[in-house]
Amino acid sequence: MSYAFIINPAAGRARAGRLVRDLEDWLTAHAVAHVLLLTRAPGHAVQLAAEWGRRLPYVIAVGGDGTANEVLNGLLETPAALGVLPMGSGNDFAKMTGLSTSWTQALKGLLRARPIPTDYGTVRWDGSGERHFLNAVGVGFDAEAAYRARWTKRFGGLLGYVVAVLWTLCRWRAPWMHLRWEAPSGAGSCRRRYFFLTISNGACSGGGFYLAPHARIDDGLFDLCLVDALPFWRALWLMPRVMRGTHLGAREIELLRASRIEVYADIPLPVHADGEVLTRGAHALSCTLRAGQLPVLRMPAYAGKTKGA
């Protein structure tokens, strides 16, 4: 089999770039037919994936969640399967594939893995923007924290995000949001002040926050984590519990499962997809699940080990 590796050399504080030669040597030594493709700018991975997804059966995103997101958005009109070699700051989606965090062990796993139908999502906002996502869409506080995290990545994956979270906590005020959702059990709606909400395909966001600890990437549903308006001290109390995935019993937390979600607000909202900020000014957005429509290289029968399972 032949593999195209799309490498973001800036991922993981340039770790991916430093490992290009080692990756080339390993693949050559193990007689793996391959091509290595380095991205040059944001969005370049989308173009490379669209091109090489028509040439080769497997396209591997080498980087973090942002790189995997770009490769996804390029592959959807091709027959190729997606693989992820985790070398970014968070690697949240890669946690759902059953691969090792060691790049050599993860690479061995990718070469043994076979394409398995996997869910992904599509987010649209304000009638003009659209993006497909693998792991999660965040609206409100966590999207603003993702925006701030662009300047705190130098501290490392999870630590950098924690610094961004604490910075944002001091300034964030929960907006009113109107939600509508569709689920197998029926439709619903509500209007409340939400600190934030996260629409999850995978269990983990932000490099180590298990907002949807029981989410799986092949169950045909989003896990929607709603967090009510809460004071600073209460947010600090919840933070370590979210990192352990033990927060679901808290009075401010509600978890819903749905295949489609709509969010409306009177004030502009920040929105991220897979950790990449899409906008800081959305007034309306929708997320739709694409159940089993993406072939992903992952371990057989593995759809993401739920936190605590």
Asked whether 75 and 82 are in contact (CB, 8 A), the reply is: yes
For residue 29, count other CB atoms closer than 10 A to its CB: 8
Residue 309 has a pLDDT of: 44
Strand partners, 188: 181
Residue 307 has a pLDDT of: 61
Domains and CATH numbers, the chain: 2-113 (3.40.50.10330), 122-292 (2.60.200.40)
Q: Are strands 58-63 and 2-7 parallel, antiparallel or unpaired?
A: parallel
Strand partners, 277: 272
DSSP per position, 258-274? ESEEEEEEEEEEEEEET
State the helix-helix crossing angle for 103-112 and 20-29, rounded to 10 degrees. Answer: 40
Distance CA 68, CA 93 (A): 8
For 281, half-sphere exposure in the C-beta direction (CA atoms, 13 angstrom radius) is: 1
Residue 153 has a pLDDT of: 62
Q: What is the mean pLDDT of each run of 10 residues along the chain (309 residues)?
A: 93 88 95 96 97 98 95 97 91 89 90 94 94 96 81 64 79 91 92 94 89 95 95 88 91 95 95 93 97 92 54
Residue 304 has a pLDDT of: 57
pTM comes to 0.91
Residue 88 has a pLDDT of: 85
